[in-house]
């Protein structure tokens, strides 16, 4: 999976500014950045939902702009906001999505994924009845059952309970060990450190740092990844003083 000097504008304003990023098979790459930094736009480029004005995105050698259908078959993509058919029951939706990809999982695999995500009591419900977190679990279930070798997961851990998050962490690491290329974003830094082979920090549409968690911590003399992230993304300690003042 490779982004080559990609640019994207909205309303004439650049939101992704010449980003180059390569994720190898067998690697979990965590993309960190504040809201509005361009993360979700980059993720949407991986399946052709958003096209770059300049640069190129390639998935397993496929140019996404030239052949988005093939790219979408290769990638297991989860957007930040759940995109599901709310009038379908959970099991109907999962079976429908899998049929689009020509995938028929074994009953054992289906049961294992549903149990791992804590969806057992929801399979017969309409998706529209589910919480935000459970809708995201349904989307994850379809990806886990498809078993693609390229994963692009935007805020995959958002809305997950502790047990489901642990199961997804194990799955992500296992996929990388099997040779999959994994690009994932999260605002939960302990999870980022637990699963990342490499971390890329993006701010204001540009890559400002990348490396292993250990290498990034070394930028601040071995301090926590959180401290490095905050320094690189323009956080000011004055904000903490202002918040404390509100309680006085």
Which CATH number fits the domain that encloses residue 199? 3.40.50.300
Measured CA to CA in angstroms, residue 37 lies from 17, 32, 115, 134, 191 at distances of 10, 9, 35, 27, 20
Tokens representing 30 are 């965590």
Mean pLDDT across the chain, nearest whole number?
92
Percent of the chain clearing pLDDT 90 (strictly above)? 82
Query: Using one digit for the tens of pLDDT, what is the confidence trace for 120-145?
Result: 999 999 999 999 999 999 999 999 99
**Domain range spanning residue 60?**
2-246
Query: Using one digit for the tens of pLDDT, what is the confidence trace for 160-189?
Result: 999 999 999 999 999 999 999 999 999 989
- Separation of CA 126 from chain center: 25
Is the pLDDT at 55 greater than 60? The verdict is: yes
Domain count, the chain: 1
């Amino acid at each position: 999976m490779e982004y080559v000097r990609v640019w994207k504008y909205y309303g004439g304003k650049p939101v992704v500014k010449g980003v180059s990023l390569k994720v190898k098979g067998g690697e979990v790459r965590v993309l960190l950045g504040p809201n509005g930094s361009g993360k979700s736009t980059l993720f949407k480029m991986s399946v052709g939902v958003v096209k770059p004005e300049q640069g190129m995105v390639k998935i397993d050698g496929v140019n996404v702009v030239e052949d988005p259908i093939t790219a979408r078959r290769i990638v297991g993509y989860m957007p930040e906001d759940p995109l599901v058919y709310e009038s379908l029951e959970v099991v109907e939706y999962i079976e429908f999505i899998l049929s689009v990809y020509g995938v028929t999982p074994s009953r054992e695999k289906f049961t294992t994924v549903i149990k791992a995500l804590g969806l057992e009591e929801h399979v017969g419900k309409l998706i529209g009845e589910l919480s935000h977190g459970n809708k995201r679990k349904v989307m994850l279930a379809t990806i886990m059952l498809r078993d693609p070798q390229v994963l692009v997961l935007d805020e995959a851990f958002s809305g997950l309970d502790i047990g489901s998050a642990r199961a997804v962490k194990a799955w992500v690491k296992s996929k990388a060990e099997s040779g999959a290329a994994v690009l994932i974003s999260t605002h939960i830094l302990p999870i980022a450190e637990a699963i990342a082979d490499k971390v890329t920090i993006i701010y204001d549409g540009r890559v400002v740092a990348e490396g292993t968690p250990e290498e990034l911590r070394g930028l601040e003399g071995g301090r926590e990844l959180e401290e490095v992230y905050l320094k690189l993304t323009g956080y000011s300690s004055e904000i903490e003083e202002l918040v404390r003042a509100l309680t006085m």
